[in-house]
Amino acid sequence: MNNKYYILRHGQTAYQTKKKDFLYPWPDITFTSLTKKGEKQIKDITKTLKEKDIDLIYSSDFLRTRQTAKIVAKELGLEINSDKRLRDVNFGIFSGKSKKEYRAFFASRKEKFFKRPPRGENWNDVKERVLDFLKEIEKKHRGKNILIVSHGDPLWLLLGIIKGLKGEEEFLREKYRALYPEVGQLLTP
């Protein structure tokens, strides 16, 4: 890797509290904002980020990630670079519906890598777009401390790529499933 990466999942939203049994709508450019707790989570994380000499911030263009990145950018005096490749998974016809309905569509977790919901994406689709993002950033920058603000699935897949995971079986091993970031969590690969 040419750069050092810091991975930040957006702060808490209603989808971790009163709507926790439902999937986010997609695309979510203007709908789902951070809760007060989510804002506080990110303000607290920013204290840690101040010590990391962050040079650049890249963020998904969804509202919850833009809000997260904005809190950090304000404190660090940096610009935000939005990138659609960092968006959350497109759940297709299941967007905004219950997680139970979505899970029932798949026979196994592994199938989420290959099977697409109608008008949606699978994990390999997301993996390809975050890999494309990473390759571009690696070509564009050298020796930078880069903060990436995104969502659970894209960040989990990106962390796996950075750690050199290849096949679906590796991603699904218990120790790598533990890479999945909690809301408001900062990780360093």
Q: What is the pTM of this model?
A: 0.96
DSSP states of the chain: --SEEEEEEPPPBGGGTTTTTBPPPSS-SSS--B-HHHHHHHHHHHHHHHTTT--EEEE-SSHHHHHHHHHHHHHHT--EEE-GGGPPP--GGGTTSBHHHHHHT-SSSGGGGT---TT---HHHHHHHHHHHHHHHHHH-SS-EEEEEE-HHHHHHHHHHHTT--SHHHHHSHHHHTTPPPTT-EE--
Predicted local distance difference test score (pLDDT) of residue 167: 86
Q: What's the pLDDT at 95?
A: 96
> Given this model, what pLDDT does residue 126 score?
98
Residue 57 pLDDT: 98
What pLDDT is recorded for position 166? 83
For the chain, which residues score pLDDT lower than 50?
Answer: none
> Per-residue pLDDT tens for 140-177?
999 999 999 999 999 999 999 999 998 888 888 888 88
pLDDT in the model for residue 101? 97
Class in CATH terms, 4-187: alpha beta
pLDDT of residue 37: 98
Domain map of the chain by residue range? 4-187
Say whether 57 sits in a helix, a strand or coil.
strand
